A and B are shown apart, each in its own frame.
Chain A
């Protein structure tokens, strides 16, 4: 895997996909299936969460098994703010972004001292700690989570309308992906990819590796927090299961499925996993068998994820 370069072809595909996604609510309404607008919002939110994980995992090379902690932190932040009467979506998003980022900064500062498997495990441990804390804090709803009444408006736009909310989510996802693309092509992105490739060498070249990794970790956590806040308003609930380790695992699976270190890997993985779930559920109650087999097939025959299947072989790779 070289340094990330987004090809014109891939950019064109992304723009085409964006146009298609813009038309989706209209199509769904025309087909009398408004439900799918709400479902699509959910998919896009998970796409954002998975993409943020891809930033640490694919670009930074840090296998974080605790990303759900930041996802959940954003959700709880949104729910708490809603409870406190904050009624402006941008404020909620910003707060969730910041709070999750701060949490990631703290967890990262402690976890990034370890390497390899131990890093995987310590991030997992911190996420579990966050999970049990959230469940136990009085007034945070315990196992039931914190419900949100309604969605805060965005500059006068009522997001309670599923279509408006969908467009808000789509805009945020597109903006985030654009930011990730800039990041990957900026000096910072090159440095974290260099660290992924050869940490000691980067250190020997004079880069303060720890600081770069920590910044990347915190930034990714912040974006996951944004996704969490969106999910909380989408579903009207900040649920502790958002912080559970299975959620971290699901996000990991999305990224690996889509393509590690590919800008759209997270999006692709989230869409594939959630749509496959939705389709399989309609076909058979034992849909998990199908999903499990599909994932195994990806591991054995598409090691670069689905994005890897599309990518053309480049240069002398």
Chain B
């Protein structure tokens, strides 16, 4: 009885303090920082930190406290870290998660505690459709989108015997669905691999036996690095064209694999050669800071920080007013490095998707070059099912 009355009292106090501004902004940054998927998490983190540096360590003028945790790409580790963020550190925002399966694992706890999650990567179809949530925002894309773009290009180019390879997890399934939404030819084989698998000898033998025209693979991080290397080593690149979403053909993979990737087509919503002032500053400073070209993951981490900054500024630091924070996030008052985009009803971006090809740039480096636009102002296929409350 006593406890209950106490908590009612506490709730009343909370209401009266609700209008007061916070004195700092706490962000829980949970990402994959070890293991084969670590490259992605590290890029998101570095992008996020670069933005924070550009913002002088402040979000919306308030000192920022960013607590970084490694989810080791394991759902239960992610959950434990999230619980700590929510119950111990009591963060105002969470961000950073790379893999959709982890997002789905921690989502319920985050939303239950009315904490905003600004996803810098994971964009599971569930949260775009029926399970869309007031507290979930994605600054990157819905999982299917980049795959849709490749599917459309492969369809337009007239390939008609394609093998699809993706890891067996929600992001992998979204990839296959997305690709097939626009590719209408024969998908002779759909190979699901174990998430985190590194030796693809068996799959490559299977592909060789199928003799496809093209292979579409979605294997983020270290998985993709190994797949491309082994694909080339097996001699398959001689008669089979490789296609991938930008995830598997960005600077992290190129740096590791090098020349064998030349000529590979891939899709992205961003590229480091995009011509706008924000992007030029981002790319230049990223290279200065970390000594490598940024990947799309880094750009997403950068944008996530900018979105949080804009929301805090809009609400004048009154982060307890959840409604106001939501509206500020939806308004998206910042300039993205990818050019312009806006949020759909499901809090996923509506934006352009481009085709890139891997070639040598003016300095002779192997890198991505933007070829053209595949989709303009493209929304995901699930938004219609979202009844945002």
Residue ranges of A at the interface with B (Cβ–Cβ < 8 Å): 33-36, 38, 142-145, 147, 149, 235-237, 239, 241-242
Contact = CB atoms under 8 A, between A and B. Distances in A.
B169 interface: yes
B104 A144 contact: yes
Contacts of A237: 75-76, 79, 105
Interface string B98-120: 00010011001100000000000
B220 to A, nearest CB: 15
Contacts of A34: 87
Nearest to B78: A237
28 contacts: A35-B83, A35-B84, A35-B87, A35-B88, A38-B83, A142-B168, A143-B101, A143-B168, A144-B75, A144-B101, A144-B105, A144-B169, A145-B75, A145-B76, A147-B104, A147-B105, A149-B108, A235-B76, A235-B79, A235-B80, A236-B79, A236-B108, A236-B109, A237-B75, A237-B76, A239-B74, A239-B76, A241-B74
A71 to B, nearest CB: 13
Given A147-B108, A235-B76, A241-B74, 11 more contacts: A33-B88, A35-B83, A142-B169, A143-B101, A143-B195, A144-B101, A144-B105, A149-B108, A237-B75, A237-B79, A242-B76
B84 A144 contact: no
Contacts of A241: 74, 76
Interface of B: 74-76, 79-80, 83-84, 87-88, 101, 104-105, 108-109, 168-170, 194-195
Contacts of A142: 168-169
Contacts of B168: 142-143
Nearest to A238: B76
A8 B79 CA distance: 41
Contacts of A236: 79, 108-109
Contacts of B76: 145, 235, 237, 239, 241-242
A299 to B, nearest CB: 26
B133 to A, nearest CB: 14
Contact of B87 (A38, A145, A147): A38
Nearest to B167: A143
B170 A144 contact: yes
Contacts of B84: 35
Contacts of A242: 76
Contacts of B83: 35, 38
A143 B83 CA distance: 21
Contacts of B195: 143
B79 A143 contact: no
Nearest to B192: A142
A75 to B, nearest CB: 10
A59 B79 CA distance: 35
Nearest to A34: B87
